[in-house]
Structure 1
């Protein structure tokens, strides 16, 4: 018979919390000894009797290893109890054998039931559970081995799938990571970044920000029709014979060196200035697959390491100005009055022959026609804008590029050629806005309200403070509204349809008007601009954070960096400094003798790529 007494007696073997215990005394409560010699007082219902004993020590309970197969076969089809199972397994019913039988029963693979009534499990259930347990054990071994590799600063190819959970956290696509938790890391993007770099899953200078903000990772793969096909679809302004031939005018596309998407060029014909813009709407029709893709992206994504295009590169290859011998364009012909105001605007599909120049090359030719003539017109237009309240804020700006692994940071110089191009592009934007306003063509106008106070700041600190008063510009469909910063009462962005969706939409509206078709309604334009702005904001965020990342990489590669910072703001305990060669803001402890616009000698103290931060100290 099995041992099933209501209250175990002194010296008997019981189970307490799945572990063996020896009964020392019985009363209202039972005093037991557990492994390690510790004693406890427990209720009778808290223990399960296994053997009447006597048990003199818990240290020698372990029975010899046995194979339960034979006992399982002998009991197949019957019911038994713990005593018989112990005898079948070990040939005896000692406390050790009873404990061994209990372990086989509680393990639940071969037998099931209670100490009083147990039975062998079905063979198929045993095989199923055994396979599941072996798989679980194998997974646990693999998990432990992976964690050990990661602790050692390495990973295996078999770990890649598991490390994707860490990557999701590092790119803000997830919130938790079992791996980070197991290794004792905090569960946040910076910790995930550190681990992925430490084990070599990511390169030491990996840029996580485009993925982190949700920006596109590749160029669009939407098929692009050829110009000939597009001309057949829109014969009124598609064929070369239907375009105004301006190839006799020298047209110059001036841009940064290395630019790969030239979408504007300039020329002059007597009193008329021409701003030629790539005729992107010729290939990208409203509601086409190309247009929908551009709308979702909103703008080109310019990263220091590469450019991800709003439109497939094949569009630029066919329409980029100066990339072919003759380029189709939408040309804005503009004349100014004596005060520099726009007097007349022509909008014409055209053919142009474009020469590409860098800003440096254009600066060397500023005294020569046609650039000398264009510069005079641009200066007249600029003077009018300034008279109307335009604000010019000259804060440091740099170009950050990664070229063959090298981080190249160059200041953006306010050269004559750059100023010339800026003014003529603004002029084209105003001309397009006034043309559409006069003809009630719905387009997105760019507007900006005036700040709370109006100044003409001088000095870097004053310009820094004044810029912070500015409200962001926004798009408004309907009647144009003033753009304070530009000093213009009507303005739209129309000169970069290869790079910005809003410019493309203006071109599509102009094309519909020129063809005699019905343009989109104001409601349709507003909805499309709203959709595109989400993608454009994502692109700007990715660009801003990526530029900072690569600046930090540059500093990390140059730990002995030193230079100067200009005090642009004094707070209660901190001073905000602008480092002009890097166009980088930093904060240091303020001192009583610090003054705005004071130059402070700085040295690099620390760079933390994972956090996206760096610290400087005052030299000397």
Structure 2
């Protein structure tokens, strides 16, 4: 920075990276810019380049010089503007100094500062030049790529650049250069729509698995040894594993012996012991992720093959024996490590056998148990259920029938959960209890709209180490124990119960809290992912069936639209109506378009 006394009239100075001629020096410095404009500036606002005389800025024209030769001589040295001016242009003039300054600004031959200019070596110059050429080439290629994206005509080499878009659409990155430079909104929905338009994704690609942080493929550790130990032989009992058609992980079965109902559950803890590699992976995955196109298992399928009830001649189990009192409440609980012989049935097959022993006796017990829970204000909500499957990119949706056999299984599993909790309390076992605080007001809705509204009033369930009520079940205490093949919290409960029964060390309070905390967040993501995936493929189904027509039940009325529940799809949608509609009114609907990226289906009333 020059002092006022060293700057004279007609000197060449630098003002905000532009050349200026000094017109007059006083308290301030009066300068002339290239456009003829006169400014009065402070001395610290300008840098002296050459003392002059410079009569006109128009004289600062390009001048010929020996740039490369000079750089070869001065390679690696620190020099001044004057040194470079004289060596490159053979003179020290305002014109030659300005030419050197422009070369300095290019940063190709020189680096450093105006006071200490570093001359690049030939190797440094060539490297910088090559890098710039590469950047220029890449910039041109990028613009050509954007042009192809706009036109919708991609080439093979575009795949790598499109990672920017796919990563953003799957929430692997927080921004998208492609969307930004195309002038589109940076939203995952916009990215999804563009990927569909370009044909990079088809409608059956499910982005929600990656968006929720899950992986399509899991690497499982080797299986451990199947533990040995005493088992109660219950193979003399007729035991039935009753599931949906196509179920591949049967982890529970039911039998009856006199007045005792037995709920047998796969003895997964005999193989998956605390802190083993398999246990640590199960803790991380938290549960099976059930998708229309695939199931991502918490445990390797081989574990199910070995321990799934009814998949081998006999199966190792943890069996929960329960008797009921005259009111239908649990009276006696027995838990044993057992061996069982299981027959597999679908719900439809079991339904046909409910009038025969032993299923008729099991049904009578589970009905009494349900009635008792209802008396204790269990929530009575039932929404339509469907099974969504994708086979060869074709979506199939089947409405599941309401069957007594399904209620039987549900009630038996709840019974096992209450029995396990009672056993843990009676024996002072640290145990993951599932609790739910009661709603502000208990209701018994009898229609879909009432159930839809009441569901929102229910409080979320929690997992605690101290027993408490589960209002939704109508129980004083409850735990989940019937799905250790596919839920980690159930597996933890089994590990604790099994250790107690064998008089082995159990998990400590801190160990249990850690496991509950780790799995809780993942369980929430799994529920979200399953809900989003089911909605996605329902939309795909509607796209594949553009003439779809069906019934919708009005479950909520808003100012500008109503929410309908479509039973055959188990799907909620917004519908606008030009006329007044009533709650629980049945509307005839026709699909009127689908926006897959936004996750919206449009229906009109017909």
Question: Shorter-chain TM-score category?
Answer: 0.7 to 0.9
CA distance in 2, matches of 1:614, 1:392: 30
Distance 1:71-1:541 versus aligned 2 partners, 3 A rule: same
- Does 1:316 find its partner at 2:304? yes
Partner of 2:313: 325
CA distance in 2, matches of 1:473, 1:16: 69
Partner of 1:185: 184
Partner of 1:248: 236
Partner of 1:214: 213
State the Cα deviation string for residues 524-568 of structure 1 (Å, max 9, x = none).
434432332222122112212222222222233334433332211
Does the CA-based 8 Å contact 1:24-1:33 persist in structure 2?
no
CA distance in 2, matches of 1:432, 1:56: 93
State the Cα deviation string for residues 422-455 of structure 1 (Å, max 9, x = none).
1221222222222333222222222222221222
- Does 1:513 find its partner at 2:471? no
Distance 1:410-1:55 versus aligned 2 partners, 3 A rule: same
Does the CA-based 8 Å contact 1:285-1:508 persist in structure 2?
yes
Distance 1:574-1:617 versus aligned 2 partners, 3 A rule: same
Partner of 1:558: 545
> Normalization by structure 2: what TM-score?
0.85
**Out of 256, 267, 270, which is 1:279 matched to?**
267
Partner of 1:581: 568
Partner of 2:3: none
Q: CA deviation at 1:98?
A: 7.0
- Does 1:450 find its partner at 2:427? no
CA distance in 1, matches of 2:394, 2:140: 39
Partner of 1:128: 124
Does the CA-based 8 Å contact 1:337-1:343 persist in structure 2?
yes
Distance 1:85-1:285 versus aligned 2 partners, 3 A rule: closer
Does the CA-based 8 Å contact 1:31-1:39 persist in structure 2?
no
Q: CA deviation at 1:162?
A: 5.4
Provide the secondary structure at the position in 2 that maps to 1:485.
coil
Partner of 2:328: 340
Which residues of structure 2 form unaligned runs of 5+?
1-5
Does the CA-based 8 Å contact 1:602-1:616 persist in structure 2?
no
Q: CA deviation at 1:257?
A: 1.8
State the Cα deviation string for residues 36-73 of structure 1 (Å, max 9, x = none).
xx542235875877786787978x94567x76323445
Q: CA deviation at 1:282?
A: 0.7
Partner of 1:70: 69
Q: CA deviation at 1:615?
A: 4.3
Q: How does 1:122-161 map to 2 (within 5 A)?
A: 123=121, 126-153=122-149
**Out of 456, 481, 491, which is 1:468 matched to?**
456
Q: How does 1:187-586 map to 2 (within 5 A)?
A: 187-219=186-218, 221-227=220-226, 230-231=227-228, 235=229, 237=230, 243-478=231-466, 480-522=467-509, 524-586=511-573
CA distance in 2, matches of 1:79, 1:447: 76
Distance 1:585-1:57 versus aligned 2 partners, 3 A rule: same
CA distance in 2, matches of 1:120, 1:218: 54
Does the CA-based 8 Å contact 2:71-2:120 persist in structure 1?
no
CA distance in 2, matches of 1:565, 1:6: 86
Does the CA-based 8 Å contact 1:175-1:187 persist in structure 2?
no
Partner of 1:618: 604
State the Cα deviation string for residues 91-146 of structure 1 (Å, max 9, x = none).
8999987765553344344457999x9988253xx422441342244134224413
Q: How does 1:18-37 map to 2 (within 5 A)?
A: 18=17, 34=34
CA distance in 1, matches of 2:116, 2:438: 86
Task: Name which of structure 1's ranges 313-322 and 348-357 shifts more when overlaid on structure 2.
Answer: 348-357
Q: CA deviation at 1:396?
A: 2.3
Partner of 1:240: none
Does the CA-based 8 Å contact 2:385-2:399 persist in structure 1?
yes
**Out of 597, 601, 617, which is 2:584 matched to?**
597
Task: Name which of structure 1's ranges 600-609 and 533-542 shifts more when overlaid on structure 2.
Answer: 600-609
Task: Name which of structure 1's ranges 466-475 and 564-573 shifts more when overlaid on structure 2.
Answer: 564-573
Provide the secondary structure at the position in 1 that maps to 2:457.
coil
> Normalization by structure 1: what TM-score?
0.83
Equivalent residues, number: 593
Does the CA-based 8 Å contact 1:567-1:577 persist in structure 2?
yes
CA distance in 2, matches of 1:490, 1:56: 90
CA distance in 1, matches of 2:164, 2:482: 43
Does the CA-based 8 Å contact 1:16-1:48 persist in structure 2?
no
